[in-house]
Amino acid sequence: MDYVFEAQAPVGVPVAGGGTLFPVRRVYCVGRNYAAHAREMGSDPQREPPFFFCKPGDAVVPAAPGSTLELPYPSRTANLHHEVELVVAIGRGGRDIAAAEAAAHVYGYAIGLDMTRRDLQLEMRNAGRPWEIGKAFDASAPIGPIHRGAPAARAAIELAVNGQLRQRSSLDQMIWSIDDTIAHLSGYFELRPGDLIFTGTPEGVGAVVPGDVLEARIEGLGDLRVRIAA
Ligand code: MN
């Protein structure tokens, strides 16, 4: 039977150097995965199991390689925050994946921004309500091209706003490694090809305003340049 209207095609994220697109299915995000960021958000970064939230697949906005992505300023917030994150792209699905097997399920890696309406997220958190309006809004997940090769274990991850460094850490500061994250996540959800995992942000998150230019970088994955639309 025909669809009653045209079905929406998945968002396609360019694969670096490939001339191909990675079709996005779901977006999973890890909360508080760097101790210093957990502290700045008022949490105790003890090794509690990782927790997850989701963004819609069509919240992903891919950057064309080498270009500056124009990102809308979302409605109903006065405190839009940047969170630079390593994104893991899943190429092979599975459930209850062992950490030792996790690497075989990864297609590639990218730089992503978990854009956050911080005022609404904290309001929802403090009221014990879901985070969606703070985290899962339209265009909340800009992402750079997907690279097949893994970044180095201690690769630098950083973000500058208007040339001023705001976030800087290294991937070995993650509380839960990529392998551990995949192991935990696949115990709750069956992972499928096309899933993206945003692996959490280091300390230094802060507000951006229309006109700001964000430059995110992870060693080995190039950079991602975003301008907040006026
Ligand atoms: Mn985040």
| Rounded-to-integer distance, Cα 53 and Cα 72, Å | 22
| Residue 13 belongs to some domain of the structure | no
Q: What is the pLDDT of residues 109-120, one digit of tens each?
A: 999 999 999 999
CA of 84 to the centre of ligand 1 (A): 8
Q: Which pLDDT score, from 0 to 100, does residue 44 have?
A: 79
Nearest of 95, 224, 80, 228 to residue 158 by alpha carbon:
224
CA of 83 to the centre of ligand 1 (A): 6
Q: What is the CATH number of the domain that holds 33?
A: 3.90.850.10
What's the domain range around 99? Answer: 22-204+217-229
| Residue 53 belongs to some domain of the structure | yes
Q: Which pLDDT score, from 0 to 100, does residue 147 have?
A: 97
Domains in the chain: how many in total?
A: 1
| Residue 69 belongs to some domain of the structure | yes
Average pLDDT, the chain: 96
| Residue 5 belongs to some domain of the structure | no
Query: Phi and psi (nearest 5°) for 46?
Result: -70, 165
| Residue 17 belongs to some domain of the structure | no
CA of 53 to the centre of ligand 1 (A): 9
- The set of residues, in sequence order, having a beta carbon less than 8 Å from that of 47 and lying 6+ positions away, is 175
Binned at pLDDT 50, 70 and 90, residue 85 comes out as: very high
| Residue 15 belongs to some domain of the structure | no
pTM: 0.97
